A and B are shown apart, each in its own frame.
Chain A
Amino acid sequence: MTQEPILAIDSLSISFDTRRAEIPAVMDFSVSVQPGEAMGLVGESGCGKSTVALGIMRDLGRNGRIAGGTIRFKGRDMAEMSEAELRRIRGNEIAMIYQEPMASLNPAMKVGRQLMEVPMIHEGVTAEEARARALKMLDDVKLPDPARILDSYPHQLSGGQQQRIVIAMALMSKPALLILDEPTTALDVTVEAAIVELIRDLGRKYGTAMLFISHNLGLVLETCDRICVMYSGEAVETGTVAEVFDTMRHPYTQALFRAIPLPGADKTARPLQAIPGNFPLPHQRPPGCNFGPRCSYFEAGRCDAQAIPMQDVRPGHATRCLRAEEIDWTAEPEAEAETEARTPGKVVLSVEKLKKYYEAGANALFGGETQVVKANEALTFEARESETLAIVGESGCGKSTLAKMLMGLETATEGRILLDGREIQDLPVADRDGGLLGDLQMVFQNPFDTLNPSIPVGRQIIRALELFGYGASDAERRERMLTLLDLVKLPRDFAERMPRQLSGGQKQRVGIARAFAGGARIVVADEPVSALDVSVQAAVTDLLMEIQKREKTTLIFISHDLSLVRYLADRVLVMYLGHVVELGTVEEVFAPPYHPYTEALLSAVPIADTSVEKERIVLEGELPSATNPPPGCPFQTRCRWKAQVAGDRCATELPEMRRFGAHQIRCHLAPEVLTDMPPVLRHAAD
């Protein structure tokens, strides 16, 4: 590649001045992006990815400044450009797409106007011309019915559609470089898959160079040509995606891959390996190698002696590790003591034809038209002692409603929930006794929300113990609280801390301790790790499984991350629009026969493994609304197998559960068709 790069960043340093100290957010960062190339930037949150992007845009806010290095755009040093020139480049030649689509859209302006403004302002074309271009662009980003969408306001569109509009808007000015900062993190997997596919196709079609920022290695594999791994403000490894994924030469990259569940990962044979320790804050970086304190190859006296420079392993593949040549990169991680598999015991929880309809839309004072939201339709399943049952599905499919009914936060419209044979579906949480409350507990998704910010950590656990009627005296409860902190591997003096003094992973541990406080029989974990960084996810997941095993708890694990589900669950329940569409063991659900929706879900999950080949199935259309679900099969509006069912049965008749032993699939397709489906994931070697 002798072409001149679109973007060349050389030893860039960026600092933020705060009142307390100067924070070096990015140090000695170099990267280049060739025309038409997609460059991936990965790393944990806070490592400086967004700061690099904002530095390129020269949009660092009042307290940020470029402390050193150069950024060249098309060969010209951006530091030497005038304000006017920078403004022209920012709107026109470099476009940026953020995680939150609404950050880039004006809520008070129709989508059409916002799109048309771009060429009208930058190129001075007429309104008709601009409208024609906008229509064409909407077609390019695969939005159905572009004319109607041009006439809508942003809030009338779904999150996925909004993000498509933002991409269309960015491409309207035909930029030479597109910067995408976690563009799909706020979206569902299936929507994410569609957007990623779109980004990749458009990149090819328009030849736009891209800088793709993400914390998800799988996504980078699917979209990018080259990758740059960042750690604590520095680039630690750069190279082509294939090279970095298959022959990584930095211990941090290796640790990242060992911390995420890959399709082959088995919870008993190869447990996830968390990266020990914590991410250093920018002003507390260790001397020498930033990764030193957490690196298993650390060598005192060498790694902490001086700053480590970036070195080439091969042309085009560089790493910031002194020992890259010495480490045996093929060595398997030391397998931890083989943990024996759990054997599920007797049935603890059974749910029969459970149904929940919400009434919405009526005005409390004056009445009015009520609408019925059909959140759950006739759910039937069982969960056994020491079993992990995963519930997967897109947001809005009714997972959380189910969790709320189990917890008693909502009562059922119809059907039964039996806990040890006792009916609890009509027992709101206010009427439950301490024992029952302690038996059924929940771990929440958002670590920043799960603890009350105004109450010390220990006090919050003690309060739960009080309500579960645990212990006779305050001293006894306090003792139990301390052992609970031990259980979740937090130091005992955390009891006195306020939640804001804890990191996300630590807060989630407290949340787990609180859930297990009353010796819970059933714990519902609603996306407990999805908001955590990969390196922390592994540790929290393993902790959850360990406690579950010890306490013989039934874990109901709600998640959209199918890789994780495959890693930790025993059985999987797939939901779509309030229905159970598939139920079976992990092995059954992750191999044919599939329900057509499960097949699409599996295909949507980004997998960070170059040896896995995926069948691409992109779901067209939007998730139907739960107030107005389609007749017949709930999935019929998006199903690619529909044509294989004779007659119009998919559109008229709700399919019965088809049984393959204990494995159940709600679909009209003939059993042979289902069993003959090709597998979605294949190892290249097979």
Chain B
Amino acid sequence: MTVGTASTATCKFTDIIADPLIRERWDKVRRYFFLRESTYDMTNRCNIRCEGCYYFTGEKQFALENRDEDAWRQLMAAEKERGITFAVLAGAEPSLVPRLCRICSENIPLGAIATNGLKAIPRETDYRIHISVWGSDSTSKEIRKADCMLARQMDNYRDDPRAAFVYTFTPFNIDEARQITDTLAEGGQQITFNMFSAPVGYTGPLRHTAESLARTREVMAGLLADYPQTVLFSWYNIVAHTSDRGLHDLFSCTYPRMNASTAIGLGRSFRQYRTDLKWDRDAACCVPDTDCADCRHYAAGSAVVTARMYRHAINVESFAAWLDYVDTYLAVWVRGYTKGANLLTYPVAPPGSNQPPTPL
């Protein structure tokens, strides 16, 4: 498979977008530049307990739970006022507080919910729903201590256009991804890929190694090629998320936790609210308590890679890679957005990296 090395020569942006395919995709994605996200922990409870769970790490798990619906309504109104246009409802398990989820979606119409999928979230909350899958049912049983996860998840979200299954690759479930993808394809569902990213201080076996990253890369590439209708991913997603270097090292994370500037962008607007409706700038990112050096998380990439448009606008190939990434991001996160065919069918190196990505 060909590997493109990002050229250092800089083309004019007008020449890059003169290509009709690029132009069409650029016009499609730029309509969503108004999205400004913040993240909300909805409850400190979960109906299962997974090994390596990032929620039950660090301080945030101890925040008191605010279940006062008026307080949530006020928070959401204030968030909207502050310019937030996209709400990500996360930790621990939002499906346990469906009324609070509903309040969020009534105030901020665009958003996504991260759930383990074991309890259906009512349809009135019209957010994208990310259902986490950590491997085959036997692996899930071992790591998440839950039985028949995939069947239960699929039952809960059958024919539900809100659903996107998120398969988290660990070093131990790489080869199980094909079976899961196949099952989801048969069920008419969509899947995207996440990478286990170690929480701060985690020393367990789920942390990726160079070898597991390389194997993941191969499997992702195969699935992307074989299930183009089911897999919401691009070749550049593979490059960005399976590199030996983490996302921060590759792209400079723009979340407040790693970005001191409050002038513009995520550093200015992003907040990560805990269940007591407080937030702490020093800890604010989409996956707080994740070790930045090991961060390859899909939610992190969705902000960090996406924000780096300027550095990708150096030639048609790099910009096409970035557009594929953003098109994937929007398809995964925004209800009603339909992913186009990937512009690139091969990986290119991130701008400024001296080495091409490892061949697939």
Q: A and B: real partners?
A: no
* Chain A interface (Cβ < 8 Å from any Cβ of B): none
